[in-house]
Amino acid sequence: MRASDKVRRLRRLAIGLLLGAVTVHGARAQNAAPQTGSDPVAASLDSLRRDANGMTLERAAVQSGSRTVRAGEHLAGDVASYHGPLEISGTVDGSVAAIGGDVVLLPGGHVRGDALSVGGQVKLAGGTVDGEMRSISAFSVGPLAGAQLTPAQATRRSLSLAVACYLILVAMALAVSFFARGHLETIGSTIRTNFSRAFLFGLLGEIAIIPLFLLSVVALAITIVGVLLIPFAAVAFALGVMGALALGFLAMSLLAGDAIMRGDTAAGEARPVVSHLITGLSLFLVLWLLGSASAYTGFVGSVLRLLAVLSTWIAATVGLGAVIITRAGTRAAARVPRVPPPPAEEYAWQTPTPVSGVAAARRPTPAPRASQQ
């Protein structure tokens, strides 16, 4: 593939991603559109009813603006005000509430039920409340974020997660390419020459992670001083495993980037490791983005997600195996004899004969048999 074709494809990919982002944002904006009701008091009462710390009130009990229960006044039901304070000097057999205001219990004021303020306070200024005095700063209604995600929200969350992982890996790739490029190259060449062996070692390494961790905990616990080191050892172990996985995955990404960008580098020119790493990582990102974006498309989405998971797992496993084989890139794997490259010219297979000729080797002659002697 020509370099200009690749650039064109990357540009198409970028435009596609941008359109996807706009679409997702648009869908989210539609989901987040506020629901407006014709009667704000009724809407507030509905929120009050659905709030776990609210209460149920009849519409008739609510009066807009401030409200006062005068001394000597005795009300049998509930009393509420909307966007105004509620002052009580008389007796209320039910509950009282002020939505967007304070509830003030003045001397002689008596509430037999609960007193609730939304956006204000319940103030005891000489009065009494038999039930609970409660104030909430605002309503807490609607589904909890994440508890019931819409498909658009779930998709967006998956996309964000994939992008976040990608950006973290890009940052790690930059650090590794600057500070541990040699190790990365060693791991990469090990994967290239010993792919099956690296996969096997990676698989064994993944299986051995938990037993190794338990063994090290027990080993530390046997020595009494070591018990105190267990938390630190656990953190160090986790970091070590994650680091090995990340390093191996980056090496696999480098190889993937090499494969994609092959031909972009002129002969004899140093290979741009960072570009190749990012290209390789982007390949995995595209797989995950496709899997995330098509999560709700049924079978195709499942297949794409499975593909993303499988490819990532294989890459991580092979990379981990190569990290183990090369001791994190500090030693090269045993070299496998290389197959000589195919001839580049049409008649190159012919052995060039020097003008002076070639001395023929003596053919070994077998020892004469006893019967012939």
Partner 1 sequence: MKPLLLALLSLFAIGGGPADGARAWRNLAASRPRGNADSLRVIVRYDAGRISVGAAAAPLLYDARARFDANEQRLSRSYDATTHTLHVGIDSAVHTSGHSRAGAREPEGRLDLGLATGIPLDIDLDLGATRAVLDLGALWVDAMHVSTGATETDLTFGTLNPQPMRDLFVDAGVGSITIHQLGNARAQHTSIESTVGTVDLDLGGAWTGEMPLTLRVALGSATLRVPRDAGIALRLSRRIANIDSDGFTVRDGVYYSSGYELAKRHIVVDGSATLASVDVTWKE
Minimal distance, residue 61 CB to partner 1, in Å = 21
Q: Site for partner 1 (CB under 8 A): which residue of 1, 18, 43, 238?
A: 18
Q: Does 129 interact with partner 1 (rule: CB under 8 A)?
A: yes
Identify which range of 8-16, 33-41, 59-67, 238-246 contacts partner 1 by CB under 8 A: 8-16
Minimal distance, residue 126 CB to partner 1, in Å = 14
Minimal distance, residue 295 CB to partner 1, in Å = 10
Identify which range of 69-77, 93-101, 222-230, 337-345 contacts partner 1 by CB under 8 A: 222-230
Sequential DSSP letters for 291-356: HHHTTTSTHHHHHHHHHHHHHHHHHHHHHHHHHHHTTTTTSPPPPPPPPPPPPSSTTTTSPPPPTT
Q: Site for partner 1 (CB under 8 A): which residue of 224, 344, 358, 359?
A: 224
Q: For residue 252, with 0-12 CB atoms within 10 Å meaning exposed, 13-18 middle and 19 or more buried, which class applies?
A: buried
Phi, psi of 357 (to 5 degrees): 85, 175
Identify which range of 6-14, 75-83, 87-95, 322-330 contacts partner 1 by CB under 8 A: 6-14
Q: Does 160 interact with partner 1 (rule: CB under 8 A)?
A: yes
Count of helix runs (H) and strand runs (E) in the chain: 8, 13
Question: Between 58 and 132, whose beta carbon lies closer to partner 1?
Answer: 132
The CA distance from 123 to 82, in Å, is 17
Q: Is 128 helix (H, G, I), strand (E, B) or coil?
A: strand
Minimal distance, residue 282 CB to partner 1, in Å = 7
The CA distance from 296 to 91, in Å, is 58
269-328: which residues touch partner 1 (CB under 8 A)? 275, 278-279, 282, 285
Minimal distance, residue 241 CB to partner 1, in Å = 19
The CA distance from 338 to 45, in Å, is 79
Q: Site for partner 1 (CB under 8 A): which residue of 1, 3, 21, 259?
A: 21
Question: Between 154 and 172, whose beta carbon lies closer to partner 1?
Answer: 154
The CA distance from 270 to 276, in Å, is 12
Identify which range of 85-93, 125-133, 311-319, 323-331 contacts partner 1 by CB under 8 A: 125-133
Whole-Å CA distances, 13 to 3, 24, 212, 235 = 15, 16, 43, 39
Q: Site for partner 1 (CB under 8 A): which residue of 3, 25, 42, 300?
A: 25
**149 phi-psi bin (left φ>0, alpha ψ -120 to 50, beta other):** beta
Element (H, E) at 44: helix 40-50
Taking the CA of residue 191 as centre, how many other CA atoms within 13 Å lie in the half-sphere pointing to its CB? 31
Element (H, E) at 125: none
Question: Between 186 and 282, whose beta carbon lies closer to partner 1?
Answer: 282
Q: Which residues pair with 123 in a beta bridge?
A: 104
46-65: which residues touch partner 1 (CB under 8 A)? 52-53
Q: Site for partner 1 (CB under 8 A): which residue of 3, 71, 132, 174?
A: 132
The CA distance from 38 to 42, in Å, is 8
Identify which range of 133-141, 177-185, 255-263, 302-310 contacts partner 1 by CB under 8 A: 133-141
The CA distance from 128 to 305, in Å, is 62
230-249: which residues touch partner 1 (CB under 8 A)? 230
Identify which range of 64-72, 213-221, 252-260, 345-353 contacts partner 1 by CB under 8 A: 213-221
Number of residues that bind partner 1 (CB under 8 A): 57
Sequential DSSP letters for 216-239: HHHHHHHSHHHHHHHHHHHHHHHH
Minimal distance, residue 254 CB to partner 1, in Å = 16
Interface residues with partner 1 (CB under 8 A) are 7, 10-11, 13-15, 17-18, 20-22, 24-25, 28, 52-53, 121, 128-138, 140, 144-147, 149, 153-154, 156-157, 159-160, 163-164, 166-167, 217-218, 221-222, 224, 227-228, 230, 275, 278-279, 282, 285
